[in-house]
Amino acid sequence: MAEPSRYDKQLDILIALITYMALTRWRSRSPNGLAKDLGLSEEAVTRTLDEFPGIFRKSANFYPTDAGPQNSYTLHARFARRRPRGVDAASQQPPNTQNLALLSDPEPTQDGTGEELDADTLRALLDFVTGRAEAERAVHLHSASQKYILLGAVAASLVSLLATIIQAVR
């Protein structure tokens, strides 16, 4: 069984991705485009997007990027706000043509103006993520303190046993 996603270890990337994806004009973005826009490593962005499927929605289609064909991602909360658009030009693009993912502004079919998350929804997402990170840290600290308590109890037992043996030998 895979280890559960660690909010506390990826909190900085989660906050950057959630904030950017909630407020940008793009309806969805590839890991390559997100990494370039945010100045993060593409590997870290892809790992975070894939490890939190409850937050990020992965498209079934592949889109051309500098790194080759990639899925695009959006926030589930933002996907729910989508309105119908025309055909997505990026997914219908023949090979070896202009890479629409490189554009600084989205094409009309990729433009999500008006679909941005409102402040309350964004705050709820950020509160959820930071709350999970805090809970994970608390569990980790509690687990570590329990180990030290157990180690102390074992040490006290050994000292007591040693004192009993010394007392019996005298």
Radius of gyration of the chain (CA): 25
160 found inside a domain: no
158 found inside a domain: no
Report the distance separating Cα 72 and Cα 30, nearest Å: 4
Mark the ranges of the chain whose per-residue pLDDT is less than 70.
Answer: 1-5, 84-109, 111-112
Assign residue 122 the CATH number of its domain: 1.10.10
Which pLDDT does position 1 carry in this prediction? Answer: 40
Partnered with residue 71 across adjacent β-strands are 62
Q: Inter-axis angle of helices 11-23 and 119-169, to 10 degrees?
A: 170
Q: From the CB of residue 34, how many other CB atoms can be counted at a distance below 10 Å?
A: 25
Domain that holds residue 41: 11-132
How many domains would you assign to the chain? 1
Which pLDDT does position 115 carry in this prediction? Answer: 78
Q: Are 38 and 17 in contact (CB under 8 A)?
A: yes
Which pLDDT does position 4 carry in this prediction? Answer: 58
